[in-house]
Amino acid sequence: MSNEAKTEILRRIKNSLDDAPLAPEIPRDYRRVSDQDPAAILTMLEERLLDYKAAVFHETAQSLPLLLAKLCIDATKVIVPEGIDHSWLPSNSEEQFLFEAPGHPLPVHELNDTIDAVVTSSTVSCAETGTIFLTGRPDEGRRAISLVPDHHICIVSASSVVELIPEALAQIEPTAPITMISGPSATSDIELERVEGVHGPRRLDVVLLS
């Protein structure tokens, strides 16, 4: 296409838009700040997650290693991002827990064939929708490790839980690769039959860390 033809096309588009009405103002009267107390917000998140068929545990940094040992007792290999807090992991678990260092990603077929579970942290969680946000931080790792293994253990700091979506989005870097998790992977076919594990882990354990 010649420059003259391109210029003519753009001129016609511009002229056709001259009479277009201005875009309507977007209403901003929805709730942006919660008026709930933190305990009520945590309870709301737990109720949503349980409704989505996730398992929820309440732990401290001291009790977390024992819980992870129990949750991973049947797992041969568990992948964890390099940036995760190493004190969270069970002692003497070097052979079971595999750290994925940045720049050395495990191929997807190996994640699928050799990894039984993954442990990640999280950025923020929205109680209203029961959604956990991962943004690729060093303690969360790349998206693939939270999506390919069949069992995801997600550590959610109680202080990172908010009630509303606007509050959650305000804490996220806009250019970050966002993964949103609302329960184990589930979808339904044309006959509305529930199918699990189609596009993510079939088992989700959420640890609310206080």
Q: Residue 193's pLDDT is what?
A: 82
Task: Measure the N-to-C terminal CA separation of the chain; round to a whole number of Å.
Answer: 63
Percent of the chain with pLDDT over 90: 77
- The pairing of strands 131-134 and 179-181 is antiparallel
Q: How confident is the model at residue 140 (pLDDT cuts 50, 70, 90)?
A: very high
pLDDT, mean of residues 92-107:
90
Class of the CATH domain delimited by 36-209: alpha beta
Q: Residue 145's pLDDT is what?
A: 95
How is the chain split into domains, by residue range?
36-209
Distance CA 29, CA 190 (A): 37
Q: Residue 185's pLDDT is what?
A: 87
Q: Is the pLDDT of residue 96 over 90?
A: yes
Q: What is the pTM of this model?
A: 0.85
The residue among 155, 123, 149 whose CA lies nearest residue 136 is 123
- List Cβ neighbours of 187 (8 Å cut-off, separation of 6 or more): 194, 195, 198, 199
Q: How confident is the model at residue 196 (pLDDT cuts 50, 70, 90)?
A: confident
Q: How confident is the model at residue 136 (pLDDT cuts 50, 70, 90)?
A: very high
Q: Is the pLDDT of residue 192 over 90?
A: no
